[in-house]
Structure 1
Amino acid sequence: MKSTTRGTLAAVITGVAAAMGAAAPAAAVDTVPVPVPLEGIENSLNMELPKLGGEIPLLVPGAPEGPQYVEGRLLPERVIPQLPVSGALPGAGLRAPLPHILGDDFDHVAVEAPVSDLRTLGPGLSVDAPLTPPKPENFGLPDVKLPQVGVLAPVLQTVPGANLATGAGL
């Protein structure tokens, strides 16, 4: 192999490795910050305005649990499995100036609702056939029984929180 071919191959491999390394951190981001630009209004009105921003989470679907075979049933349990989705509740932050009564400095009040973890499971369905499994005492024929249908309720788990604070400066 010529040295120019080796150099070209090395440059291609280096470029691919760099691209793969740069793509990994971008895929690991779980929230997208959303700033609310109020600087133009501040300049036009010549006054302090609140600082406002938020975070929008990216939802990540998980792998559903497959059907589970149970002894004594013809059809598996959880025919339509529940789909797990993990993510977060949106976060928000507000920092507003308060005029200081005794001087020209501004104090501030801040409300912050950080992103809270969120775990959900979609609804599912469990069905059983109107027949029993084959029985040896019945010459290998199944018996008739009432059909069974069950709806698996959706699940939502989260612990939201918020902070309220006051202090000096904006």
Structure 2
Amino acid sequence: MKSTTRGTLAAALMAAAAGAAAATPAAAVGTVPVPLPLGGVEKSLHVELPEVTGQVPVPKPGAPDGPRYVEGRLLPERVVPRLPVSAGLPGLDARAPLPQVLGDDFDHAGVDAPASDLRTLGPGLAVDAPLTPPDADHFGLPDLKLPQAGVLTPVLQGAPTADLGLGSGL
């Protein structure tokens, strides 16, 4: 193999490895990075604008818990099961320039709110028929009873964090 071919192959492998390393954190968290390009506006207006990037979560639906049959009921315990969805809260990283009162230098104010995990369970439904199971004392016929219906409440779990700060320089 020629040295130019080896050099090209090595450069291609290094670029692929760098791309994979850059894509791994977003894939691990389940977010897609979204930069806000303001460089053209800064150059055209000759002002310092904030640097803003964000992360948008990718929701992943889970497998619902199926209906459970309980002794003494005609219908399963959860007729409409709750659907779990895991995703994340969107993240934000913003740095805004703050001009100093004396001089031409800038300080900055920053907000860093990384994407955080969020776990949800959708609402479900539990109902029971107005009949009992077949009863041997009544020749195999069911008895009447009051119907039952219930809504399984949705669940939302998460722990978002954020850092606010001031600093010198941009």
Q: Mapping of 1:1-170 within 5 angstroms?
A: 30-170=30-170
With over 3 angstroms needed to count, the CA separation of the structure-2 counterparts of 1:35 and 1:113, relative to structure 1, is same
Query: What is the percent sequence identity of the aligned residues?
Result: 69
For 2:109, the aligned partner's letter is: V
- Per the alignment, do residues 27 and 166 of structure 1 end up closer, same or farther by CA in structure 2, a change over 3 Å counting? closer
Equivalent-residue separation in structure 1 for 2:99 and 2:27 (angstroms): 43
1:23-79 per-residue CA deviation (whole Å, 9 max, x = no partner) reads xx6975610111111000110111211101111000000000000111111111111
Amino acid at match of 2:55: E
Separation in 1, partners of 2:64, 2:129: 23
2-structure distance, mates of 1:94, 1:128:
53
Give aligned pairs, total: 147
State the distance in 1 between where 2:103 and 2:57 align.
41
Whole-angstrom distance in 1 between the partners of 2:27 and 2:130: 48
The answer to which of 45-54 and 101-110 deviates more is 101-110
* CA-atom RMSD in angstroms: 1.8
**Which blocks of at least 5 consecutive residues in structure 1 are unaligned?**
1-21
Secondary structure of the 2:43 match is helix
Deviation at 1:107, TM superposition (A): 1.0
Distance in 2 between residues matched to 1:67 and 1:106, nearest whole Å? 61
Structure 2 residue runs of 5 or longer lacking an equivalent are 1-19
Deviation at 1:150, TM superposition (A): 1.0
Letter in 2 for 1:147: P
Q: CA deviation at 1:137?
A: 2.0
Whole-angstrom CA distance in 1 between matches of 2:91 and 2:77: 38
Q: Write the distance in 1 (CA, Å) between the matches of 2:32 and 2:89.
A: 12
In the TM superposition, residue 131 of structure 1 has moved relative to its aligned partner by: 0.7
TM-score, normalised with respect to structure 2: 0.80
**Displacement after TM superposition at 1:127 (Å):** 1.1
